[in-house]
Each structure stands twice: as C-alpha cells, then as structure tokens.
Amino acid sequence: MQGFVDYTMAKRSIVEGYKRGALDRHDICDAHPELVRAGRNIGAKVRRPCPVCQAESLRQVRYVFGDQLKHLSGRPVYPDDWDMELSSKFDEFRCYVIEVCLDCHWNHMAACYLMGRRFQAPSARTAGAGRTNP
Ligand SMILES: [Zn+2]
C-alpha cells in the first residue's frame, strides 16, 4: 500500500499515559457520536479487546478524504468495497482507518494510506494482485 502510516506506537503511548494516570478516561474516550454510530452500523469487528476497557466491542471504520472526491470526501467506506470503486475512478485519495470502542468510546486512528488510480500498477490487475478469482 502506498504512503502507509501505522499509528500503533502513538496508540501505545496514549494507552500507557492513561494507565499511568497521566490521562483521564474522558480525555481519550471521546468518540464523536457519528463515529460511534458508524462503528455500530457498518464497522468491522476487531479481534482484540479494547485497550482501555477490555470490552470485545472494538470496531474499525474507514474514511476517505481527498480534494478530487469533492462531496464524497469524509465519508465512511460502505459497502466494504466502496474504496475499490473509488480507486478506479479517482487518481488519488487518502483512507483513514479509525478504531472505536462501542462501550467506552475510546477512539484512535489506527492507520492511513493512499489509494487511487495513481497507485495501481497495470500488471497488478492482470496478475490478480494476490486475489483468487473463481
Ligand atoms: Zn473500550
């Protein structure tokens, strides 16, 4: 993936700050109601407990941003392969992966990466890009 940034380290330091008592739960569990709703309705289940409250209700929601997307910028990716559809129509946009806990409302940007036609190698499509076609 192009321009992939992993925010695991940043997440770790925030969670450690909370466990040390340097950060209050209200400071870090501040998910916007829209994000919580998106997580509940369209979020992908995350197979690990919430780092703050340990509940098994972590969800991942992806959002797309980019000037070319115009009114579509800032929307959550739904259905699941909508980003692939956008990727075939637009040259470049950014995808943000946000994790949100439905219980305590902890939220965090897990990763972000670039998508779009610019980043699709022509050979990747014919080679199947690791996908198995029936
Ligand atoms: Zn939680």
How many CB atoms are located within 10 Å of the residue 104 CB? Answer: 17
Q: Give distance in angstroms: CA of 100 to centre of ligand 1.
A: 8
User: Could you report the per-residue pLDDT of 30-66, keeping only the tens digit for each?
Assistant: 999 999 999 999 999 999 999 999 999 999 999 999 9
Q: Give distance in angstroms: CA of 34 to centre of ligand 1.
A: 17
Q: What is the pLDDT of residue 123?
A: 55
Higher-confidence position of 120 and 29: 29
Q: Give distance in angstroms: CA of 94 to centre of ligand 1.
A: 26
The answer as to whether 77 is a domain residue is yes
One-character DSSP codes across 43-88: PEEPSS--TTT--S-EEEEEEEE-GGGGGGTTEE--STTHHHHHHH
Q: What is the mean pLDDT of residues 62-76?
A: 97
The closest of 57, 64, 62, 65 to 97, measured between CA atoms, is 62
Number of domains in the chain: 1
Q: Give distance in angstroms: CA of 21 to centre of ligand 1.
A: 16
Q: What is the mean pLDDT of residues 9-24?
A: 92
Q: Give distance in angstroms: CA of 132 to centre of ligand 1.
A: 36
Q: What is the pLDDT of residue 129?
A: 47
The answer as to whether 127 is a domain residue is no
The answer as to whether 131 is a domain residue is no
Q: Give distance in angstroms: CA of 57 to centre of ligand 1.
A: 7
User: Could you report the per-residue pLDDT of 93-134, keeping only the tens digit for each?
Assistant: 999 999 999 999 999 999 999 999 998 766 555 544 444 545
The answer as to whether 115 is a domain residue is yes
The answer as to whether 31 is a domain residue is yes
> Structural domain of residue 39, as residue ranges?
2-120
Q: What is the pLDDT of residue 128?
A: 47
The answer as to whether 125 is a domain residue is no
